Amino acid sequence: MTDLPYLPATEALRLFRSRELSPVELMTAVIDRAEAVEPQVNALSERIFEEALLQAKQAEHAYRDGGTPRPLEGLPVAAKDEQPIAGRPARSGSLAYADHVAEVTHPVVERIVAAGGIIHARTTTPEFCCAGFTHSKLWGITRNPWNLGYSPGGSSGGSGAALASGTATLATGSDIGGSIRIPAANTGTVGYKPPYGRVPVMPPFNLDHYCHEGSMARTVADCALLQNVIVGPHPHDVASLRPAVHIPDRLGDVAGLRVAYAPNLGDWEIEPEIAANTRAVADALREAGAVVEEVEVGLRRADVMRATFTHFGAIFGPSVGQVVAEHGDTLTRYAVDFAAYSRTVSDETGGFLAGLEMEAAIYAPIGELLDRYDALICPTTGAPGLRAGEEYVDTKLTVNGVELDHYMEYVLTTVFNIASRCPVLNVPSGRASNGMPTGVQIVGRGYDDATVFHIGAAVERVRPWAFRPEAL
């Protein structure tokens, strides 16, 4: 146990129960790690270390006194700053909200605390969580532990960077266009976008079918552990589903499962390294006993971008636009650009109804595939990450030698916010030559959570990944 900051949560719980490890020892190791690496990584927007150590001492007594410890008893959990905690800052990564304090606590955080998890830190986001990278005027640049010149992705970039740098054992995220899966892919971690309604979301975005709260971790079992705590109906979220559906404890049996392997969802630009790593995951699943067949999905990324930003233009964009109108001078250029771009696209395409029609056409080939296959695998991104601190407002992103019209064309994630009832698990697929991890999306049939975790666990068993970056 010489590398406690990277100890899997499931293993930590076993050691807590056998009294071979104390929650205080683990919390101290994680805090010491944060003190050492945070000056470089900058993943934590708020440190709650003193309170966390006191709670770890209480957890230590829970194990020592022979009671029944709760599911997350004593584990350090980093909460995405977007998820409010009553009495604590609620700043949305923005100078405009620098003095705001939350009056309520997010249901996800409530459930973690009720399960014995210790919120020892909160993690950075881009301003209003409206970007696929993580930096802001309020918190500065969050860097990727695998390569400090790169971003960990966004918007749950702080959570991904905290897991990769050993400053959290578990972490929360949220996903409206890939905001769990992009940072998970970029940081070599596991991230889960549950199907719509599986995990409660706060109003009014609980009514936005693009929006999902989910779990992030370094292993598939740890991700399932946290997911099983945060799942289930909530009285303040009419879209939250009952009954709660839990991931099974025993994972990894894929014998006979039919898996569609899509090297590309259509015409996305995919760097050769990512293509090779995705193919290696398909091969690993064949080795694990699945029937894997290569397929063509046939989507056009321009159509997906139009549908996505038409949707953003109806809900998410106006929410940012309200702040732009009042505090424009204090905001990041990317937040201002997001509000304007989503409004422009929505106006050009014909608004929300036209967007729904586009979304239906985009889902059709996916639904047909998932009628024949148990799951679909495809790359999470087309390139291994974005440069740290770059806003991609004036600068164009080039992938596979092609200049993209908008940097978000480099991800293949928004397709499955459109197909929001599909569960999607990102697992690491390998590394690129720049040292950055790469990821693959495992897409399940609507509300079939368990299958994507079985497939993820099989990949992890056959093709295990490294937890600790050499850069730190």
In-domain check, residue 265:
yes
Give pLDDT, residue 236. 97
Catalytic residue among 22, 80, 346, 429: 80
Q: What is the pLDDT along the chain (472 residues), one digit of tens a residue?
A: 569 999 999 999 999 999 999 999 999 999 999 999 999 999 999 999 999 999 999 999 999 987 789 999 999 999 999 999 999 999 999 999 999 999 999 999 999 999 999 999 999 999 999 999 999 999 999 999 999 999 999 999 999 999 999 999 999 999 999 999 999 999 999 999 999 999 999 999 999 999 999 999 999 999 999 999 999 999 999 999 999 999 999 999 999 999 999 999 999 999 999 999 999 999 999 999 999 999 999 999 999 999 999 999 999 999 999 999 999 899 999 999 999 999 999 999 999 999 999 999 999 999 999 999 999 999 999 999 999 999 999 999 999 999 999 999 999 999 999 999 999 999 999 999 999 999 999 999 999 999 999 999 999 999 999 999 987 8
Three-class HEC string of 342-376 = HHHHHHHHCCHHHHHHHHHHHHHHHHHHHHHCCEE
Question: How far apart (Å, rounded) are the C-alpha atoms in residues 152 and 162?
Answer: 10
Report the CATH number at residue 268: 3.90.1300.10
Q: How many CB atoms lie within 10 A of CB 312?
A: 28
In-domain check, residue 104:
yes
In-domain check, residue 438:
yes
Amino acid sitting at position 168: A
Catalytic residue among 151, 155, 156, 159: 155
Angle at 162 between CA 439 and CA 74, to 5 degrees: 115
**E strands along 309-412, which residues?**
375-379, 398-399, 402-403
Give pLDDT, residue 2. 63
Give pLDDT, residue 1. 53
In-domain check, residue 470:
no
First to last CA, the chain: 19
Angle at 318 between CA 313 and CA 323, to 5 degrees: 145
Catalytic residue among 156, 165, 174, 179: 179
Q: How many CB atoms lie within 10 A of CB 318?
A: 15
174 is catalytic: no
**E strands along 266-419, which residues?**
291-294, 375-379, 398-399, 402-403
Give pLDDT, residue 223. 99
In-domain check, residue 114:
yes
Give pLDDT, residue 67. 78
In-domain check, residue 303:
yes
Counts for the chain of helices (H) and strands (E), in that order: 14, 15
In-domain check, residue 207:
yes
179 is catalytic: yes
Question: How far apart (Å, rounded) are the C-alpha atoms in residues 375 and 370?
Answer: 6
Per-residue tokens: 302: 């321009």
Domains of the chain: total: 1
Helix axis angle, 352-372 relative to 333-349, nearest 10°?
A: 90
In-domain check, residue 34:
yes
- What does pTM read for this prediction? 0.98
Residues 6+ apart with CB under 8 A from 250: none
80 is catalytic: yes
Give pLDDT, residue 471. 76
Which three-class secondary structure state does DSSP give residue 76?
strand
Residue 186, domain extent: 4-462
